[in-house]
Structure 1
Amino acid sequence: MYKSFVVRIYPDEVQESFFINQFGCCRFVFNTFLDAKKTVYSDNGEYLSFYDCSTMLTELKKSKTWLKRVDSQALIESLKNLENAFDRFFKHLNKYPRYKSKYNPVQSYKTNNINNNIRIEGKRIRLPKVGWIRFRTHQKISGKIQSVTVKQKASGKYFVSILCKDVTRHVFKINNRSCGIDLGISRFVTINTGEIIHFPQQNKIIQLDKKIQRLQRKLSKKEIGSKNYNKIKKKIALAYEKRHNILDYHFYKIAQRLTEKYHVISMETLNIKGMLKNSRLSRSIQEKSWHMFIRILEQKAYEHGRKLIHIDQWYPSSKTCNNCKYHKEDLTLNNRTWTCPHCGNRHDRDINAAKNIHHEGLKIINQIQY
């Protein structure tokens, strides 16, 4: 199994200077060969392949000697990124590749582990052309290192994403427990058993959102590119990073608890992009970060050998009575509870939806097994 471990590193002034040069050289290579591809195609109607660009890069290093001072593998990876961008463009998966800017708040480069030139000893990691750097993490890094990606975030902090292979999966024992979960705005996660998991650190997140709004108002009054503008921009990046870290920590805890307890977890397939078109609910949906939670839950389910079942997004989980399967067409978002006119059962909207999702998930898993 492949897995990446993200750790924060603490470079000294010399190492930080090298990272800045490395980011610049990778950006230069990407932009130079993007321009070369455009020129060759417009002049001759031919396409420069990755191998053509790699040969040209070797010649370019003879005139641009400063390219030899940085990690050569990172420059090759820039060419691979460019080739991948064009492949995705030809498959209509993304737009035409654009030039990289040094003003982008996030800068990164990738390099590969060759002849054990990347290794970890204790709380230090060795990177090519950089040397040993201190890092901090709460995870136990295991497996064989394949590559690393060094990234500088908008807050100015440096991180390394370490991609490892042959990582052992911690598979939990199989049990007969299953559940259905319903994601919501007022109640973050509702389980079919009636358990409700509220949105983590709600008051803290609200305070951070207000702080971000206040700083953004200040930023709009500053001259673009000035020192005060950059100071406030960095404060905004730190606030966003803190918000992300709080959610990331608590979402992992929720996902870990669900995967430990249940072997089969059923949930709805949410069309989040479509839901964001609702002007009244778009802000609340964005604040709940459903996509981030679903991604973490999928990751945890895979790591621990659990089954995550996605129900059809058009399945009427809220409008269907879980007892007699009566379908109530006139149910609106304002109706938090409703009584089934057929069997007389009174339902809590979210718990009823979670029960229906649970039943539908069991149907799907039985169809897969048989």
Structure 2
Amino acid sequence: MRTHGSNREVLGIIPHIDSTRFYPTIQQQQSLAQLFGCCRVVWNDALALCKNSLKLPSSGDLQKLFITQAKKTEERHWLSEVSAIPLQQSIADLGIAYKNFFNSLKGKRKGKKLGSPRFKKKTSQQSARLTRGGFSINRETVYLAHIGNVNPIWSRSLPSEPSSVTVVKDCANRYFLSFVVDVEPVSLEAKNQSIGIDLGIKTFAFMSDGTKAESPSYVKLDRKVRKLQRKLARQEKDSKRRHRTRIKIAKTHNKIADTRKDFLHKLSTKVVSENQAIILEDLNVSGMMKNRKLSRAISLQGWRQFRVFCSVKSVKYDREFVVISRWEPTSQVCSECGYKWGKLDLKVRSVQCINCGATHDRDQNAAKNINKVGMGNRHDSKCTSRRKKTTSVASVDEA
């Protein structure tokens, strides 16, 4: 995770997002709906001007045009009924979105290419960000400007004074408060020096020390989503029944996401707290998703999310996080002697090395190789002979 500012880098302070759920009253729900609508209108108006302009206007010009001057018009006079802070932050977020888009086009931003900012819809997730002038915390109560006092469900106290809070309403009509706080790294003694992790579908993670991590089953919830989506496709648009079905789909998606996130948080915390170095393989998930038979199962696992959790928590616990190249032949090399037998079919789960006679589980062998490559102890495959043919354990038993 990147830190912002030189002082934070010297002090070792890490920006962190802490979210908690709250239940607004009916009047507060109406006020929040008005706030979300104003932020959405300001974003869409500014985005429409940016798309039709040859030169991108500055955030200050957009704020004057679509907030200050728009409040004086009859069409947008209701913008003055909400706090101006989230409206200004909405314009600022649009400027950041365009900056990230241009940096992605120029190659200055790593990762997948970003698209241009899009218009916001009423049926999507809604959010509004308030800085320190728009909120305050008094013990267990949070005051939001023009909204009132709300009582979040605190699972733990905030580690520091938050710099901003984002009010979020998801597609299932759940409300959350997301705080940006500063967290100092935790010094915790590690039990093991390093661990290599091989990610899979049936077994989510196979560790180099021989332990496994089985992911929860999402089959029943996934079938329910597909059934509701077929029902939604047959219903009339803008009808009440279609709206109820859409809410049911969103709630089922949230159950899957919450179950997966809880599992990944617990697993990543355990892995990072017990090991000094965490080593993963750089998987080409977008390429693997092109496999029509495995794409749905891969998308439910959350490999990328697990990698992000491990990376963030490695900074928090002062650990070393290593990602090896996707081109490393971790499944094609014997972890004992370094003999390279080449590619194996996915149905081959156990392999016996002809060179040294060792029998390996496919996933555990890959995890051991990931650990060795990440720690710089890679075998030299040129020193091993490839005259013999390595076979699966089943074929050896048959012989």
Q: TM-score, length-normalised on structure 2?
A: 0.84
Contact 2:190 2:274 in 1 (8 A): no
- Counterpart secondary structure, 1:2: strand
| Equivalent residue number for residue 182 of structure 1 | 198
How far apart are residue 90 of structure 1 and its match?
A: 3.1
Contact 2:331 2:343 in 1 (8 A): no
Structure 1 letter corresponding to 2:37: G
Residue in structure 2 matching 1:156, options 173, 191, 210: 173
Contact 2:190 2:273 in 1 (8 A): no
1:283 aligns with 2:300: no
1:53 aligns with 2:73: no
How far apart are residue 46 of structure 1 and its match?
A: 4.6
Deviations 1:209-267 (A, max 9, x none): 12112222222221122111111111111111111111111211111111221111111
1:347 aligns with 2:360: yes
How far apart are residue 174 of structure 1 and its match?
A: 4.8
1:193 aligns with 2:209: yes
| Equivalent residue number for residue 131 of structure 2 | 112
Contact 1:188 1:199 in 2 (8 A): yes
How far apart are residue 138 of structure 1 and its match?
A: 1.9
Contact 1:185 1:288 in 2 (8 A): yes
Contact 1:5 1:139 in 2 (8 A): no
The alpha-carbon distance between structure 1 residues 36 and 279, as it changes in their structure 2 partners (threshold 3 A), is closer
Contact 1:322 1:356 in 2 (8 A): yes
Deviations 1:284-307 (A, max 9, x none): 211212122222222222211111
Deviations 1:168-198 (A, max 9, x none): 3323125552111111112111111111111
Residue in structure 2 matching 1:130, options 139, 144, 147: 147
Structure 2 letter corresponding to 1:94: L
1:319 aligns with 2:320: no
Q: 1:85 and 1:51 mapped to 2: Cα distance?
A: 16
The alpha-carbon distance between structure 1 residues 349 and 18, as it changes in their structure 2 partners (threshold 3 A), is same
Structure 1 unaligned residues grouped into runs of 5+: 366-370
How far apart are residue 61 of structure 1 and its match?
A: 1.9
The alpha-carbon distance between structure 1 residues 257 and 38, as it changes in their structure 2 partners (threshold 3 A), is closer
| Equivalent residue number for residue 76 of structure 1 | 88
- Counterpart secondary structure, 1:208: helix
* RMSD of aligned residue pairs (Cα, Å): 1.9
Question: How do 1:80-95 and structure 2 match up within 5 A?
Answer: 80-91=92-103, 92=105, 93-95=113-115
Q: 2:323 and 2:173 mapped to 1: Cα distance?
A: 38
| Equivalent residue number for residue 368 of structure 1 | none
Contact 2:124 2:171 in 1 (8 A): yes
Q: 1:196 and 1:32 mapped to 2: Cα distance?
A: 51
Q: 1:86 and 1:67 mapped to 2: Cα distance?
A: 24
1:66 aligns with 2:66: no
The alpha-carbon distance between structure 1 residues 124 and 192, as it changes in their structure 2 partners (threshold 3 A), is same
Contact 1:118 1:145 in 2 (8 A): no
Q: TM-score, length-normalised on structure 1?
A: 0.90
Structure 2 unaligned residues grouped into runs of 5+: 1-13, 106-112, 379-399
